[in-house]
């Protein structure tokens, strides 16, 4: 199975707080964010890993090109500036449209053993054909503008919401999907949609059967304080 990383964001909030290192190269417990994901995907025996970064990220591009020389799995680097994560996914789609895949944003922090269980669950769903996707969710809410995820008692996703009076889960930015999803993505791009959350809503509208997989906690690195939170969280393992 292929794995992909969206590493094209500018990290503007980190920059405002004095961090000059590009977000993908920020270190958590001595390991760069993008390197951590590459290591985790390698442990999952990925058939290929595809990473997109923007054209201004010279440091990131140089780092990943160097990694390509030593990485034991096929690593494809896409250098393209895009207006949103959804458009970054569209740029990645040409390399992912031949089978199921797992996609994350570069700053997604999760427990490795939970990610392994997530992938195994997705593999099982593919085997039975009962789902078109598995979405990582968490009841840990620390995002400034979270995407709330509504499910039924069996964790089938019923809605993606900007507002929720009694939230149970929020999106963790971890997506396991089949290539069928690119039909919906193509339609979203053609209609001028700009956000990943609108793409996820469109998946439901198009009839995709999406199941939620609860992680105990998923953190995003958007602020300097998030690095400290991530290090403390991972040190609990």
Domain ranges of the chain: 2-235
CA 102 to CA 79: how far, in whole Å? 19
Give the mean pLDDT of 14-29.
Answer: 85
CATH T-level fold of 2-235: Spore Coat Polysaccharide Biosynthesis Protein SpsA; Chain A (3.90.550)
What is the average per-residue pLDDT within 160-188?
A: 93
pLDDT tens profile 88-112: 999 999 999 999 999 999 999 999 9
Distance CA(182)–CA(25), nearest Å, equals: 29
Sign of CA dihedral 231, 220, 176, 54: negative
Please state, in angstroms and rounded to a whole number, the distance separating the CA atoms of residues 81 and 185. 18
Instruction: Spell out the alpha helix ranges (H) of 97-195.
Output: 112-128, 181-190
What's the pLDDT tens digit per position in 208-229? 999 999 999 999 998 888 999 9
The mean pLDDT value for 161-166 works out to: 86
Q: Which residues pair with 5 in a beta bridge?
A: 51, 104
Percent of the chain residues topping a pLDDT of 90: 82
Binning pLDDT at 50, 70 and 90, where does residue 17 land?
confident
Measured torsion, CA atoms of residues 53, 59, 61, 62, in degrees rounded to the nearest 10: -170
Per-residue pLDDT at 173: 94
Q: What is the pLDDT of residue 20?
A: 81
Per-residue confidence band for 10, with pLDDT thresholds at 50, 70 and 90: low
Where residue 189 falls among pLDDT bands split at 50, 70, 90?
A: very high
pLDDT at 237: 58
Instruction: DSSP for 110-130, please give it.
Output: --HHHHHHHHHHHHHHHHHT-
Give this prediction's pTM. 0.94
pLDDT attached to residue 115 = 98
- One DSSP character per residue, 52-95 reads EE-TT-HHHHHHHHHHHHH-SS-EEEEE---SSHHHHHHHHHHH
d(CA 15, CA 44): 33
pLDDT exceeds cutoff 90 at 72: no
Q: Using CA atoms, how far apart are residues 54 and 70, in angstroms rounded to an integer?
A: 22
């Amino acid at each position: 199975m292929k794995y992909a990383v969206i590493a094209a964001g500018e990290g503007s909030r980190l920059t405002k707080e004095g961090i000059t290192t590009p977000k993908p190269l920020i270190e958590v417990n001595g390991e760069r964010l993008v390197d951590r994901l590459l290591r985790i995907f390698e442990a999952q025996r990925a058939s290929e890993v595809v990473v997109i970064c923007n054209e201004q990220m010279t440091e990131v591009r140089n780092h990943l090109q160097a990694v390509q020389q030593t990485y034991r799995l096929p690593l494809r680097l896409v250098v393209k500036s895009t207006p949103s994560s959804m458009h970054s996914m569209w740029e990645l789609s040409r390399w992912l449209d031949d089978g199921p895949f797992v996609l994350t944003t570069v700053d997604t922090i999760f427990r490795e053993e939970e990610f392994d269980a997530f992938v195994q669950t997705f593999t099982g769903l593919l085997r039975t054909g009962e789902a078109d996707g598995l979405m990582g969710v968490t009841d840990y809410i620390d995002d400034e503008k979270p995407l709330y995820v509504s499910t039924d008692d069996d964790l089938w996703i019923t809605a993606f919401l900007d507002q929720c009076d009694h939230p149970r889960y929020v999106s963790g930015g971890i997506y396991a999907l089949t290539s069928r999803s690119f039909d919906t993505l193509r339609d979203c791009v053609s209609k001028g949609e700009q956000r990943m959350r609108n793409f996820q809503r469109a998946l439901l509208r198009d009839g995709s059967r999406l199941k939620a997989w609860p992680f105990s906690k998923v953190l995003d690195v958007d602020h300097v304080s998030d690095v400290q939170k991530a290090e403390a969280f991972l040190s609990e393992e």
